[in-house]
Structure 1
């Protein structure tokens, strides 16, 4: 008796986008309305970006309880990994600490540029 094994093809994400951020940390002029919202109401803006990225809406509000904003830093690291952007945790830490509004604005611009929808898939099959 022989056994036949069938394997489904796995999805592959092919991207023609570079492995760098699509804009610099201080390139707020590329999206002035979002830059203004990020500067004048950063907590609200961070919550909107967090929700758009597929995370909890109020997650960025936890940033005010740490010396290095852990949510801004972890979202930045997650975004680098998701989109294949090169970088390191040291820069992520510096941007999250010293350039909070610029950090959130850059992540927003990146999501708009990449336009890769976040799809949550339940892998459990019965």
Structure 2
């Protein structure tokens, strides 16, 4: 008598991906303390890591070191992220946050990338 094997995998639980708001606030550093500590102690390195995770050039944030206006790069990444994920906001708010809370903005963007990207896992089951 042939036997039938049924394999049922639990589906990953994810947050709503189509929200029109940031999934975390600008000062929600308690959501990921190690990451925020990294951003506090070495913001240029953290910004490079976040930029690469987002799909931009790794060295984009290093333009800070060559005298380019600091908030401009942070602001452009924040605006790009808002457009990609459909997050409501204004350029004025992006400018203020990027100017006065640069490290917090990079932390918020890193959390957003992590929460909005859902890994795809393929599992193969073979009979033995």
TM-score range, shorter chain: 0.7 to 0.9
Name stretches of at least 5 consecutive residues in structure 1 with no aligned partner.
1-14, 118-126
Q: In the alignment, what sits opposite 1:30?
A: 31
Change (3 A) 1:116 1:96: farther
Residues 1:75 and 2:54 are matched in the alignment = no
Residue 17 of structure 1 contacts residue 114 of structure 1 at CA under 8 Å; is this kept in 2? no
Bigger-Rg structure (1/2):
2
Residue 68 of structure 1 contacts residue 93 of structure 1 at CA under 8 Å; is this kept in 2? no
Describe the SS at the equivalent of 1:69.
Answer: helix
Name stretches of at least 5 consecutive residues in structure 2 with no aligned partner.
1-15, 120-128
Over the residues paired in the alignment, what is the CA RMSD in angstroms? Answer: 1.6
Q: In the alignment, what sits opposite 2:6?
A: none
- For 1:1-126, list aligned pairs within 5 A: 16-64=17-65, 65-115=67-117
Residue 43 of structure 1 contacts residue 61 of structure 1 at CA under 8 Å; is this kept in 2? yes
Q: Deviation per CA, 1:39-81: give whole Å up to 9, x if none.
A: 1110000000001111111100113423452111100000000
